Structure formats: structure tokens, C-alpha cells
């Protein structure tokens, strides 16, 4: 994304705005931001006429924190004791983050729901309960600390229940997140700012989704396959590592798993 922004989008922007394109500043944009921390937000001569000149991609500020969170999880899970006591460790970390680490609250809310996924049912009243929890928490001044959990639950519920599905094993969510901002900047540069925000949003969506698909197909998916280079623990299978369970458990699926387990136990007893 940094390379395309610096050497495709930025030159195009300089042509559209008839500004000077600074190649050295474009190189600097890539090198200074390559380790996720945003140290240079724009490229000289490319956004001079934009309504929002401050940055090519305002979404990137979160990536440093996300990367740090994933590294912390990797280090934490090196401990066999931690891996064996997730139902204790993750709630404690969530409470600690709720007090001391604002952004980590959201990351750990997702982890907490993942750990207890088998106990969460996709009941139709679940989003109503989440909304009912968020409103009083926000009113009482606890919203900043405790709302990440019901918000995460509502989002995952929607993703599991609503009939919105991408093709099998295609995930464009991250690509949409990192490509949307520069595409919206280009839409403004093409002089479409006179359109309503809803129309420009539709135009941006139409462009970003194919870009996100390309990102998934040629960058993200091949990168994820590099997991095969990491040694597995005894008992782990490649299929289990690549598949991963759903974030929320369906009551029907959970019942089916319990029946299968009981049948297996019954068969072993007979043998």
C-alpha cells in the first residue's frame, strides 16, 4: 500500500493538481512508515489542493498498536501454562487493559469472546442486550472502560447472522481498511467533491472492494501461507491451524458437537 501510494497515487495526484512531485519525498514516505509507525503522513506536492491535506492515509495510525498487540500475544503464548489457562488469563488481561490500556481493551474484548466462543449462542436478542448494556454504561461514565465487550459481541453477532458472505476463504476486511482512505483522497482530486457524501462513498466502495480482493489474493493470502514454515506443537494438524473455529458458536453446531462427542464415548465404551 505504501509503494502504490508513493509511486502510483502520488504522481497521479501531482498531475491532477498540477503540483511538483517530489520523488525523494515519496521514497521517504515508504521508508519512514515501513515499520508500521507513521512518521511521515504525506508527500510534498501531492495533496496541496485537497480538502484534507494532512495525510494520504489516516487509517494507518492504528497499525502500530495492532502489530504490538499481536507481538505481545505471540510472546505471551510461548508459555505452556498460559495456553492451558486461557479462560483465566484472558479475562484478567481484559480487566487490566480496561483500566490502563485504552486501545488494548478492544483487542482483548475480541480475544475474550474467542476464548468463550463455545458458550455464546446466536440468540436474536443478543444485539438488543448489547445495546441495552452500552447505553447505561456510557451514561454512568463507564463506557470507555466496558463498552468494548458488548460492542465486539454485537459486531461478531452481526457477522455470524447477517446474510452477507464473501466467497469461501476470502477476507477483504483488512484491504478495505487500508485502501479506503487514499482512494477517497483521489476521488476528491478528480473533482468529485461536489457530489454528496453518500455518492462518493458508493464510488469509493466500488473501487476499494476490487483493490481489497487483489490485496487478499496476491499479498495477504500468500503471506498467511508462510505459517507453514512455523513448527507446530505435537498434536496440531495443518488443517486445524489453517481452518480455525468460528468466532461465535451456533447453538445447532454446539449441540451437534456434543452429540458427536457422546457418540464417540459410547462407541469406545462398547468396544
Instruction: Evaluate whether 170 touches 212 at the Cβ level (below 8 Å).
Output: no
Cα–Cα dist 186/27, whole Å: 20
pLDDT at 34: 94
* Cell 445447532, located at residue: 252
Closest CA to 40 of 49, 23, 52, 28: 28
Is it the case that residue 137 has pLDDT exceeding 70?
Answer: yes
pLDDT at 186: 92
Mean per-residue pLDDT, 248-262: 49
Q: Around Cβ 75, how many Cβ atoms within 10 Å?
A: 10
Q: What is the reported pLDDT for 71?
A: 93
Reference 156, options 119, 127, 177, 178; nearest CA is 127
pLDDT tens, position by position, 148-170: 888 888 888 888 887 777 667 88
Contacts with 172 (C-beta within 8 Å, 6 or more apart), sequence order: 166, 209, 212, 213, 215, 216
Residue 4 predicted with pLDDT over 70: yes
Task: Quote the CA–CA distance of 34 and 10 in Å, as a whole number.
Answer: 17
Mean pLDDT, to the nearest integer, of 136-140?
76
Phi-psi region for residue 216, left (φ > 0), alpha (ψ -120 to 50) or beta? alpha
Give the cell for residue 195: 457530489
Q: Is pLDDT larger for residue 138 or for residue 55? A: 55
* Higher local confidence (pLDDT), 162 or 198: 198
Mean residue pLDDT of the chain comes to 83
Average pLDDT over residues 249-253: 46
How many degrees, rounded to 5, is the angle at CA 35 between CA 31 and CA 38?
A: 75
Query: For 15-39, what is the mean pLDDT?
Result: 92
Confidence of residue 50 (pLDDT cuts 50, 70, 90): confident
The predicted model gives 196-211 an average pLDDT of 94
- Listing DSSP states for 155-191 in one string gives HHHHHHHSS--PSTT---HHHHHHHHHHHHHHHHHTT
pLDDT value at residue 45: 80
- CA triple 114-181-67, angle to 5 deg: 40
Cα distances (angstroms) measured from residue 162 to each of 154, 196, 249: 12, 28, 15
pLDDT at 263: 52
Reported as a single tens digit per residue, the pLDDT across 57-104 is: 999 999 999 999 999 999 999 999 999 999 999 999 988 888 888 888
Mean pLDDT along residues 228-255: 54
Cβ-based neighbours of 120, under 8 Å, separated by 6 or more: 113, 153, 248, 249
Q: Is the pLDDT of residue 254 over 60?
A: no
Residue range 240-265: average pLDDT? 49
Provide mean pLDDT across the span 7-21: 89
Name the more confident of 256 and 186: 186
Q: Are the beta carbons of 204 and 177 closer than 8 angstroms?
A: no
Distance of CA 141 to the CA centre of its chain: 27
Angstrom distance (rounded) from CA 73 to CA 91: 14
Per-range mean pLDDT, top range of 13-22, 203-212, 229-238: 203-212
Is the per-residue pLDDT at 205 higher than 80? yes
C-alpha span between 65 and 50 (Å, rounded): 28
Amino acid at each position: 500500500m505504501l509503494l502504490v501510494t508513493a509511486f502510483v497515487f502520488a504522481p497521479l495526484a501531482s498531475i491532477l493538481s498540477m503540483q511538483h512531485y517530489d520523488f525523494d519525498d515519496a521514497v521517504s514516505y515508504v521508508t519512514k512508515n515501513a515499520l508500521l509507525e507513521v512518521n511521515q503522513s504525506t508527500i510534498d506536492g501531492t495533496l496541496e489542493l485537497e480538502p484534507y491535506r494532512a495525510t494520504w492515509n489516516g487509517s494507518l495510525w492504528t497499525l502500530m498498536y495492532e502489530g504490538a498487540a499481536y507481538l505481545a500475544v505471540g510472546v505471551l503464548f510461548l508459555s505452556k501454562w498460559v495456553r492451558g489457562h486461557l479462560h483465566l488469563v484472558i479475562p484478567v488481561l481484559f480487566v487490566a487493559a480496561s483500566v490502563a490500556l485504552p486501545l488494548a481493551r478492544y483487542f482483548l474484548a475480541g480475544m475474550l469472546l474467542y476464548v468463550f466462543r463455545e458458550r455464546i449462542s446466536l440468540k436474536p436478542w443478543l444485539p438488543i442486550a448489547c445495546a441495552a448494556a452500552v447505553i447505561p454504561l456510557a451514561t454512568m461514565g463507564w463506557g470507555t472502560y466496558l463498552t468494548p465487550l458488548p460492542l465486539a459481541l454485537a459486531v461478531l453477532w452481526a457477522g455470524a447472522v447477517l446474510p452477507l458472505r464473501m466467497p469461501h476463504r476470502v477476507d477483504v476486511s483488512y484491504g478495505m481498511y487500508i485502501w479506503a482512505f487514499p482512494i477517497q483522497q483521489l476521488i476528491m482530486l478528480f473533482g468529485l467533491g461536489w457530489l454528496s457524501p453518500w455518492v462518493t462513498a458508493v464510488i469509493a466502495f466500488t473501487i476499494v472492494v476490487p483493490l481489497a480482493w487483489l490485496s487478499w489474493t496476491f499479498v495477504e493470502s500468500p503471506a498467511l501461507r508462510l505459517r507453514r514454515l512455523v513448527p507446530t506443537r505435537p498434536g496440531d494438524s495443518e488443517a486445524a491451524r489453517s481452518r480455525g473455529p468460528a468466532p461465535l458458536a451456533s447453538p445447532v453446531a454446539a449441540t451437534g458437537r456434543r452429540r458427536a462427542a457422546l457418540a464417540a464415548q459410547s462407541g469406545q465404551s462398547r468396544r
